[in-house]
């Protein structure tokens, strides 16, 4: 299967991943503030303890999708193929243990597909040519995923970048405004964050700090 990637690299700069379970405050307010403040891509990841299911998840997802449309930000769904198809989402993100990317690409021939690739072994066993971008990490220890692999440090980003000079890469896992620049310097095109935004006392300031850190390297 041949595939020409969607040019998503600029949208990876400040990539917000979030679900209701990640927000100590009102989730829709948190997400809208983040969108308004300058995140460049959004992924709905409604997973884990306390997350929504069924109709409640679907209703919430539609509200978030509408917010993303309002602010002209790509709206991706984590893993939930049926929901992504139902909503006609802009794309989907899948992990190593989710649907095979060949099958995903057949279902989403013209949508963004992100693939989690944590290390060299996963890179070599994955059909990354069908992915529009890969998410690499966890770079640092994270509290947002109960099943997260051990942190790789920025060396994990550098390793994958050396394997593939052209594929768009977004770093994930424990990233904050304080370490985001190091992730970009290591070879990532952007950073994806959950708690650095969703748990922030001031969401707008958190987004702006991430943007300053990321673009401070990208724009050089």
Task: Give the sign of the dihedral formed by CA 99, CA 117, CA 19, CA 97.
Answer: positive
User: Residue 162: exposed, middle, or buried by beta-carbon count in 10 A (0-12, 13-18, 19+)?
Assistant: exposed
Alpha-carbon distance of 45 to 18, in angstroms, equals 5
Instruction: Select which of 9, 37, 105, 116 is catalytic.
Output: 116
| Strand-pair partners of 170 | 135, 190
Catalytic residue among 9, 45, 105, 111: 45
**Burial grade of 68 (CB within 10 A; 0-12, 13-18, 19 or more):** buried
Point out the catalytic residue in the list 36, 145, 161, 208: 145
Q: In whole angstroms, what is the distance from residue 134 CA to residue 123 CA?
A: 9
Rg (CA), the chain: 16
Name the strand (E) or helix (H) holding 172: strand 169-172
> Are 140 and 157 contacting, i.e. CB atoms less than 8 angstroms apart?
no
Q: Which helix (H) or strand (E) holds 14?
A: strand 14-18
Q: Note if 145 is an active site residue.
A: yes
Please say whether the beta carbons of 62 and 87 come within 8 A. Answer: yes
Whether 116 is catalytic is yes
Q: Would you name the residues annotated as active-site residues?
A: 45, 116, 145
């Amino acid at each position: 299967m041949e595939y020409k990637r969607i040019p998503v690299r600029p949208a990876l700069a400040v990539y917000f991943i979030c679900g209701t379970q990640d927000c100590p405050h009102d989730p829709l307010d948190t997400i809208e503030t983040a969108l308004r403040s300058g995140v460049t891509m959004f992924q709905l990841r409604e997973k884990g303890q306390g997350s929504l299911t069924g109709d409640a998840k679907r209703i919430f997802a539609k509200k978030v999708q509408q917010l993303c449309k309002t602010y002209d930000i790509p709206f991706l769904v984590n893993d939930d193929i049926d929901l992504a198809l139902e909503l006609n989402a802009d794309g989907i993100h899948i992990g190593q243990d989710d649907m095979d990317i060949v099958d995903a690409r057949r279902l989403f021939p013209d949508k963004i597909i992100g693939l989690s690739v944590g290390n060299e072994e996963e890179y070599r066993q994955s059909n990354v040519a069908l992915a529009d971008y890969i998410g690499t990490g966890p770079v640092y220890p994270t509290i947002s995923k109960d099943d997260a692999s051990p942190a790789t440090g920025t060396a994990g980003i550098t390793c994958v970048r050396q394997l593939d000079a052209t594929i768009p890469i977004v770093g994930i896992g424990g990233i904050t405004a304080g370490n985001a620049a190091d992730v970009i310097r290591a070879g990532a095109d952007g950073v994806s964050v959950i708690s650095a935004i969703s748990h922030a006392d001031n969401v707008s300031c958190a987004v702006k700090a991430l943007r300053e850190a990321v673009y401070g390297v990208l724009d050089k």
